[in-house]
Amino acid sequence: MAINTIGVIGAGQMGSGIAQVCALAGLDVLINDVSADKIDAGLAAVDAALVKQIERGAIDEAARAAAKARIKATPDLADMGGCDLVIEAASENEEVKRKIFTLLRAYVKPEVYLASNTSSISITRLASATDRPERFIGIHFMNPVARMQLVELIRGIATENETFEAAKELVTRLGKSYTVSEDFPAFIVNRILLPMINEAIYTLYEGVGSVEAIDAAMRLGANHPMGPLQLADFIGLDTVLSVMQVLHEGLADSKYRPCPLLVKYVEAGWLGRKTQRGFYDYRSGTPVPTR
């Protein structure tokens, strides 16, 4: 089945980015979230990102206008009935994601493909919340979606070849590359990346180095474009903690234990850039280390 209309559930950083790249590729997009305010914020984020693409010379004004026209706000999940693919991009919480897929059962057409943008949670388990696990797949975009080339594809135990081929075709149409991961906790990218970030937080927690020293060491010593603590703030410390908890619980190995300092920051509501405080304080406009 050709994919021409995509529903995106979740208008946050990931959902708005997915909507943006799909609309630029000529797909019609319906975007949903729990409130009209969140949808409006997502649409504003798309518009701002498109303007930045114009400034970089990546697109022109006509492409921006066409992409904006292809994205429609959809406050009601019932409007997803005409979609060929629905991608869930809600917070990294299994209960929330399962609830979304359970609710979708009543609205989507029988031949629809379903996908999750989860960065760590079992695709097989999420598929079990639907009535069509054979048409369910993990399509994990990297953040920021518009800039990052890679998409991870993850098949659940019941995912049929038709679904897998449709997902590969979509990723290619979006001008991105895909890698295929088995359905293990955190897949490939986050299985490697998040423990590195967690270890950087342990390095801070144990007083081995300051925030600035740790980030400078990895930028200049390992040629990383962004220090691990700066990257953690960009990802969101709540998401970092969620992924580490999935790894720790799913693989039962103490090396994946979330750093207590990470837990403390999340409990304080210091989640990084999105709350203006994390390992850096962003409220002045110039990032200042908080430790």
Q: Is residue 176 helix, strand or coil?
A: coil
Residue with the two structure tokens 């009601």? 76
- Note whether 131 and 109 are within 8 A (CB): no
Rounded-to-integer distance, Cα 38 and Cα 91, Å: 13
**190 catalytically annotated:** yes
Question: Which tokens go with 229?
Answer: 């603590």
Residue 103 has a CB neighbour count (10 Å cut-off) of: 14
- Note whether 85 and 3 are within 8 A (CB): yes
Question: Pick the catalytic residue: 16, 32, 117, 119?
Answer: 119
Rounded-to-integer distance, Cα 170 and Cα 159, Å: 16
Question: Pick the catalytic residue: 88, 92, 120, 152?
Answer: 152
Strands 113-116 and 136-141, bridge-based pairing: parallel
Residues 6 or more apart whose CB falls under 8 angstroms from that of 24 comprise: 59, 63, 67
**119 catalytically annotated:** yes
- Note whether 136 and 130 are within 8 A (CB): yes
Residue 182 has a CB neighbour count (10 Å cut-off) of: 9
- Note whether 80 and 30 are within 8 A (CB): yes
Question: Pick the catalytic residue: 16, 190, 198, 242?
Answer: 190
Three-class secondary structure assignment of 77-108:
HHHHHHCCEEEECCCCCHHHHHHHHHHHCCCC
Question: Pick the catalytic residue: 92, 120, 140, 198?
Answer: 140
Rounded-to-integer distance, Cα 33 and Cα 132, Å: 23
Run of H or E including 151: strand 150-155
Angle at 199 between CA 124 and CA 146, to 5 degrees: 55
Catalytic residues: 119, 140, 152, 190
